[in-house]
Amino acid sequence: MNDEAFPQISKPYQEKVNNHPAYKNYTFSTSAHEYFLRDYANKEFPQEADFRILIVSDKQGNVVFERLFKQQEGIYMAPLSMQKGEQNYDGARNQFTGKLFPNQPEVIFGLQDYSFGCEPIIFIAKKKSDITTNCDNRH
Q: For residue range 37-54, what is the model confidence (pLDDT) as tens digits?
A: 998 887 777 677 888 899
Per-residue pLDDT for 89 more than 70? no
Percent of the chain that is helix, strand, coil (3-state, to 5):
5, 35, 55
Give the C-alpha separation, 67 to 105, whole Å: 16
Query: Are the CB atoms for 60 and 31 separated by under 8 Å?
Result: no
Amino acid identity for residue 54 in this structure? L
Q: What is the pLDDT of residues 90-128, one digit of tens each?
A: 555 678 899 999 999 999 998 888 888 888 999 999 889
Per-residue pLDDT for 74 more than 90? no
Global confidence as pTM: 0.81
Confidence band, pLDDT 50/70/90 cuts, at residue 18: confident
pLDDT at 131: 93
